[in-house]
Structure 1
Amino acid sequence: MPQLNPAPWFLIMMLSWLTFTLIIQPKLLPFISTNTPSTKLAPTAYTSPWNWPWT
């Protein structure tokens, strides 16, 4: 079965990942704005206890 031979597909996979990590990714990362961490605390939600009918 030819699809079990990893020789041609491994080279294609490695070249595509190298292209992505070395060429495409550095060009895309400057355009992605990251959220700056804020010092504001998240509001805590009030939870009421559950009243089980059988207790």
Structure 2
Amino acid sequence: MPQLNPGPWMLIGLSSWLIFLLLIPPLVILFKPVNSPTKKQTLNPLDPWHWPWP
């Protein structure tokens, strides 16, 4: 049965770990979000239109 031969699966597993450990982390570290987060605007207490959601 070819499924029980560990030779090709060992190479596939090793190469996938190398991809995840060497190529993916620099892409994740260098990722910058498209829009920077903004501060929540504070409502004026005298504002007549006070909605319960921001």
Output the TM-score relative to the length of structure 2.
0.49
